[in-house]
Structure 1
């Protein structure tokens, strides 16, 4: 028996040396029905975790829809806060819900592991628009916030709306509630209406309107990313124009708030290994995501700051009290 124990100890040590972090069984909760973005995140990341030998066996994917992620959030907080084998898929949409008080607790109830990629937000105008630059647009809005009809694929207080308002706030526009907003069922219908003159700009994800960019029918005034995007490296970022704003619709994961530092660090390392793999880079790009890494404490701080910004803007425009 002792010989067998020694054998397994040796095998475990060898595995640890081979994979900096030992593999373990894992489950990923997708807080939505099959087929959506959170389901995709769980299934694709789970597949690569298994293929790269970063977990033991296959990752079990559990769909837990309800409340745009609130049901899963409550379940983890109440029943699985210390479950080291658990990942939960989330995105900017989830943080928006948290900021607006639609989840049972704030972001500090969970441990935020990493973001692996994102749809990148853009501010677009028609090719014949009088606004030639982001400065032109924001100056017009600052002079008269109601002078430009703005639009996107989320309702008032949704992410397309909020990232535009973050830019407006950075430009010194004080009464954000005066900016007119129209919702359409997707970025493409919004662009079509913009090209017809019904609205003056569109705030949406670049992936949704990529075809219009390629055809030259619209002008991108700003990409809301840290760096130029790989597919369109010549498009200007808001940061390069003096506005320190990003607008990622990121895809990432959290785990329970009582998971140990050691287990949390192990997940961060596993996901960084996955992010660096050729399999994830190809999967992300083929799915229209820009591979972007933020992990561990950096990601936790980013989430906390996003929650704070979104809550402040939601309060300013009357979405929350």
Structure 2
């Protein structure tokens, strides 16, 4: 009987300790700094669905459109700077806005980056019949004359997609301002431009290429990931392994107000770490079209700030900011 009581006590302790992870996150909220639909909404839905067990209940999603994140970062630097219950969705585009001053006085040091939802990666894409069979083939031509190859993507000069081309050129100490770049209204138009011959190289994303693999229309010369990606991209080299210091992970994640107490911040970190270890989280991220990137806490905060610093340097070199 005594052994049974001990076992029961241990079992009860295990049951109690699991939900204790988030007992003091009373009203969990994810702020999507845009209208419903799109990437910020998707990022909050991942948190809403993926953290439900760890939070012991539902998370509210609040939409806060304005300035592609500008309204939200302003609010979390004024009236909600120490809110312990709210997280805000961001992306690499948000980091670029911080780097180029599009959020006004608020930058990377005015938030506490918390955790990632997942990531996509940039890719260097050509038509299947392109004379550029490898990234080296392409870059040899670009190094001789950056303006001789027409590149394009779904974003204007200074945008996230433009930055992919810029860091590729910068890896060979070339001036991004000298490249020929065509801006399209979205990735779909850019792909049409590539297939139609109006551009020769498309700086797109790996995720959007899934449906095009094996069609015989396009080829990925390299991914802009730190290491090789899993199938169906395992045979595609990274720019880095080919000798080009060019990475562009398209991070989706969350930040909190800069004055949030360490205790509250660390509780959220623990919640994410617990979710990262589950099959449910991995499946959710995959189903939402992202690749796994499980990074949280101080390590994640430092990593995001380094990314902003690097983006700032590239933007200055390109004449986008003074």
TM-score by length of 2: 0.89
CA distance in 2, matches of 1:288, 1:69: 22
Deviations 1:190-221 (A, max 9, x none): 22222232111000112223333331311211
Match of 1:309 in 2: 310
**Structure 1 residues 15 and 77: alpha-carbon distance in aligned structure 2, compared to 1, 3 A threshold:** farther
CA distance in 2, matches of 1:135, 1:277: 40
Match of 2:198 in 1: 198
Matched, 1:22 2:19: no
CA distance in 1, matches of 2:15, 2:73: 33
Paired residues for 1:120-199 under 5 Å? 120-173=121-174, 175-199=175-199
Paired residues for 1:27-176 under 5 Å? 27-50=29-52, 52=53, 54-104=54-104, 105-173=106-174, 175-176=175-176
Offset at 1:13? 8.0
Gaps of 5+ in 1: 1-11
RMSD: 1.9
Match of 2:227 in 1: 227
**Structure 1 residues 214 and 250: alpha-carbon distance in aligned structure 2, compared to 1, 3 A threshold:** farther
Matched, 1:283 2:280: no
The 3-state SS of whatever aligns with 1:193 is helix
Offset at 1:237? 1.1
Gaps of 5+ in 2: 1-11
CA distance in 2, matches of 1:213, 1:99: 34
Deviations 1:95-133 (A, max 9, x none): 111111011311111110111211221011111222222
CA distance in 2, matches of 1:276, 1:120: 22
CA distance in 1, matches of 2:49, 2:117: 14
CA distance in 2, matches of 1:13, 1:99: 47
**Structure 1 residues 15 and 78: alpha-carbon distance in aligned structure 2, compared to 1, 3 A threshold:** farther
CA distance in 1, matches of 2:154, 2:47: 27
Number of corresponding residues: 307
The 3-state SS of whatever aligns with 2:76 is helix
Match of 2:8 in 1: none
CA distance in 2, matches of 1:169, 1:211: 30
CA distance in 2, matches of 1:22, 1:295: 16
The 3-state SS of whatever aligns with 1:21 is helix
TM-score by length of 1: 0.90
CA distance in 2, matches of 1:16, 1:251: 32
